Structure 1
């Protein structure tokens, strides 16, 4: 995980040798291990590159990196597959070496088509005076652009800064492909032409259709002097996933358990389905491919020797390297169970469970606690307040996600009692929410700006910060998660019809309508979710990893006809995400397998804390940045 930035100026009076202080601060929070800047000047333009690294694997490689030809590279990503990266290698160096060896545009596109994993990048090609940049096919890493209203400068950055007023706003770079800018041409013409190399499906019959749709995904708010054009050679990136199987059944489907004597929504319903040999085989294949995805995301990091004293180790054990955003729902439970397979047994796993305190409970006294000296740490000054100096009391927040989270903890403990499961109770008061939304969160969520973005962004920010309580039979300890990697279940609902709108679409348009809804969900996940969540989680110097969006997982699910993944004729809590629920049963998680979908804004109760008469799609006034 890194904070990457490139500021380009076409005029001397608009050029600065330093980034603005607030932008630099936001970038450094993403990459606390190393910070460096590099200036490249040409006759018609100047580029200031700024790189901020969160060291996770291989040798620490400061960014930006430059080769002997003057090419410059900024990389915010992880190579999990597709391009060979050995355990001791640093993927920034591997990618830059491969990129420097590319002789033409086609080879550059071929390289990025191969990479499996989340990424955004900025690459300056000195010989052609071109700037390349883009995001992976799902947009799992944030990248923003900002164009000056005068057309004399522009900036690319992982994260924006607070700006009031209507001009020069930050916008997300669409995850529709890789862009290229000819800097010399832009300087002379004072027109920035964004040449797009779009993602296209490997399936030949979809190429023309997708090409026609790519330009519609670029934002309409670009200034007049900025335009997007498809590259004239019609070169493209090959999507690293197979197309969605939209096959429809030749005859109406009969669900085995609907004709049985089982109670709809019971454990027996899932067990009956698993008696079918074909179903069991597909479920096992799903478990296998998802397990490999989790393995790549839990073992792809340097595990430091624990340097804590022996006395501390006796009371606290080793520190956790992996945390999971944890509600106790089926998505997070399956990820936790699979992570348990691969993380060393003597290493704890942090389960981060967030709750927002009702107003009437915000003033409850905080009990005396025994401090966990290993993981408790000082809160930065801008985050301290009466409610953050010590976390809110551990017993104040029995919200729905806390209840299911505790039940999920017991289920995981029964599956593997030898593992230390750190269930971190993160309680947030209204005062703390309002203070830190203004101080930190609002500019991270933007340019997303709805009530839903506010609720999810704030909930994920507090959860991933990891400051809370460990409550056990023996002690209550204040705790801060030390894990640099956070696993999240995003992508499961989009692919497996987890939202109520999937059921509504199925009821009105059947399986054909459901297929179209699933295709749309995955197509827009970059703009609706992932850029926002990446900015929010990375603000703590942590990296979000998304096992359900592993390219092999998505390809496997895309290859199945929809009825082998979901059955929305079955009740809520069973039919949606059916294949995942069956996998949970196979993993020994039978109770959590039957929990219906509950969005984080409702499960954590943040949606009940402030305005309650808002619609999720309304523009959120609380996110507006004041001068």
Structure 2
């Protein structure tokens, strides 16, 4: 994980520092606390100037400060992880590997081929000194943040950065679309005294209708650009090859050919036994094990691709019983986080703890309505669990006046999930980190920090999810030790998150609405759209939020092999929305959970984080998720 930034100006009227905000620098340094340095490149004969700022969170190989520069004036900033496609040895650093490979590229085709081969999240900025070109972009899913800001026409400047700060009087920032790789020909721009962009978009294969695709993507991106910034494609129509296969939109003639006949569509009793009945079908079981295999491999790459650090020395070391956690999971006890935790357990060294980060926001009115609120939440959980309530008996629910106000739904299901994980592997140290947030702290840190990280997104939903993820990933809370709560701060630099499961497996309530209205054809279309827009709706924001703590977000469900496997299946193999909540959505994942030994969590219906942690109802009950959030506009850069 790194914070990267580049400013380019063609104007002599301003210095390069006029376009580089010191508050942005502070945000970048928090993303990359292990090394920070800057480099200015002035090309006098062409009258352009570039500033490169790199901030490193050291996770792999030898410590490699950024930006990197070679004798040929090539400069590189990298914020990514190579998990496959280009070999990176266990003692090597992927930033150095990528820079070396880029300097060997002799043509645009070579550069595009290199980035097409990568598997893993990335954003980058590459100054190709020999050709006076600046290349930049994000991976296919947009798992790493990159923003751009263009000056007015007279100033002729552009700024690229991992994170920014909101300013009422400043120019608008936008997320760089994860639609391909962009190039700025600085020599041509210096000659014309105007900025222009060339896009090399992603496409699946040569069979795709290239001309139509080019027109659509150019039109979509151009709408968000200032009028004085033209966007074109390469004359040869060069593209990147998408790292995943297209979505299978096949609709079986006989729906439910492999469905279990023991499951009645009118049966509203949801149980683990219902899922076990599905697994009696050999075809279904085979697909489930293929999912487990590919998802397990994705988790393995993400929990092992980091160094364990001891005594300040960066080296691979054996774990000891007193080891600190290096891996954490954003954990609600729901199906997505439970499967990730169970798979992480298979690959993280046994002596090493795994941190389960569980966030709760204080429920209003607890002092007067303590018992009533507890009863309401218990009823809600029981309704969610349906016939699996008995699996949650004995879960410790605190009755202390100061703690019961944090017994939100996700806290209760989280504790229950902890019991399941302990049953699967009692030898593992599972750190269930209770992150408790009060309204006063939420308001203060939203204004000082979180709002700037969410920016340029601005909806009520962005506020709710962004705040919840920021407090959870910070990892400051309490561990329960024989009934006593002890303060704890997670040391994990890698944070696993389950995002991507709902989008691919029809996990949201809107998928049921879509299916009811438009059938499987409409559901296929909705799922395709979900993945296409996940970069702009979620991933850039979550990367900025989690990265603010000097931690790296990793997304197993968005591993290229996982997505390709799920894309290869018709929708009827992944979900069955004719079945009740807690079974039909994400059906194949629920079956995988049962095979992994999970029980009650396998049939928990989807509960969005903003409702599970109770932040959605903390400040206003009348807002819609899509409304512009007024709280995000009351910003301050104090202590940024």
Length-normalised TM-score, structure 1: 0.91
Which segment is superposed worse, 260-269 or 475-484? 260-269
1:235-254 superposed matches below 5 A: 235-253=238-256
The residue matched to 2:130 in structure 1 has which SS?
coil
Which of these residues, 173, 178, 192, is aligned with residue 176 of structure 2?
A: 173
Unaligned runs of 5+ in 1: 309-314, 365-391
2:75 maps to 1:66: no
Superposition deviation, residue 8 in structure 1: 1.0
Could you say if the C-alpha distance between residues 168 and 261 of structure 1 is closer, same or farther in structure 2, counting changes exceeding 3 Å?
closer
Which of these residues, 594, 615, 619, is aligned with residue 610 of structure 1?
A: 619
1:184-223 superposed matches below 5 A: 184-202=187-205, 204-205=207-208, 207-218=210-221, 220-223=223-226
Distance 1:446 1:620 in 2: 11
1:368: which partner in 2?
A: none
Distance 2:519 2:155 in 1: 49
Distance 1:514 1:601 in 2: 24
Post-superposition CA distance 1:559-601 (Å, at most 9, x none): 1111111111111111000000000000011210000000000
Distance 1:393 1:300 in 2: 40
1:422: which partner in 2?
A: 431
Superposition deviation, residue 218 in structure 1: 1.4
1:23-102 superposed matches below 5 A: 23-43=24-44, 44-102=47-105
Superposition deviation, residue 360 in structure 1: 3.3
The residue matched to 2:575 in structure 1 has which SS?
coil
1:228: which partner in 2?
A: 231
1:332-411 superposed matches below 5 A: 332-361=337-366, 394-411=403-420
The residue matched to 2:310 in structure 1 has which SS?
coil
Could you say if the C-alpha distance between residues 621 and 412 of structure 1 is closer, same or farther in structure 2, counting changes exceeding 3 Å?
same
Cα RMSD (Å): 2.0
Post-superposition CA distance 1:184-210 (Å, at most 9, x none): 322333332110000001362454553
1:285: which partner in 2?
A: 290
CA contact (8 A) 2:321 2:351 kept: no
The residue matched to 1:344 in structure 2 has which SS?
coil
CA contact (8 A) 2:448 2:635 kept: no
1:371: which partner in 2?
A: none
CA contact (8 A) 1:35 1:53 kept: yes
Distance 2:434 2:24 in 1: 32
Which segment is superposed worse, 187-196 or 442-451? 187-196
Distance 1:121 1:606 in 2: 34
CA contact (8 A) 2:82 2:94 kept: yes
The residue matched to 2:53 in structure 1 has which SS?
strand
2:128 maps to 1:125: yes
1:143: which partner in 2?
A: 146
CA contact (8 A) 1:246 1:562 kept: yes
Distance 1:177 1:296 in 2: 25
Which of these residues, 297, 306, 313, is aligned with residue 302 of structure 2?
A: 297
Superposition deviation, residue 288 in structure 1: 0.3
Superposition deviation, residue 7 in structure 1: 0.8
The residue matched to 2:114 in structure 1 has which SS?
helix
1:182: which partner in 2?
A: 185
Which segment is superposed worse, 198-207 or 469-478? 198-207
Distance 2:147 2:266 in 1: 55
Distance 2:520 2:600 in 1: 28
Distance 1:306 1:600 in 2: 37
Superposition deviation, residue 625 in structure 1: 4.7
Which segment is superposed worse, 198-207 or 405-414? 198-207
2:161 maps to 1:157: yes
CA contact (8 A) 1:394 1:425 kept: no
Superposition deviation, residue 610 in structure 1: 0.4
Which of these residues, 432, 437, 440, is aligned with residue 449 of structure 2?
A: 440
Unaligned runs of 5+ in 2: 314-319, 370-400
Which of these residues, 114, 117, 125, is aligned with residue 111 of structure 1?
A: 114
Could you say if the C-alpha distance between residues 104 and 505 of structure 1 is closer, same or farther in structure 2, counting changes exceeding 3 Å?
same
Post-superposition CA distance 1:138-176 (Å, at most 9, x none): 0000000011124421100000123113x5111100000
Distance 1:347 1:208 in 2: 52
Could you say if the C-alpha distance between residues 455 and 476 of structure 1 is closer, same or farther in structure 2, counting changes exceeding 3 Å?
same
1:7: which partner in 2?
A: 7
Could you say if the C-alpha distance between residues 7 and 177 of structure 1 is closer, same or farther in structure 2, counting changes exceeding 3 Å?
same
CA contact (8 A) 2:11 2:155 kept: no
User: Aligned residues, how many?
Assistant: 593
Which segment is superposed worse, 354-363 or 454-463? 354-363
Post-superposition CA distance 1:520-568 (Å, at most 9, x none): 0000000000000000000000000000000000000001111111111
Structure 1's consecutive aligned runs of 4 or more residues displaced over 6 angstroms after TM superposition are: none
Length-normalised TM-score, structure 2: 0.90
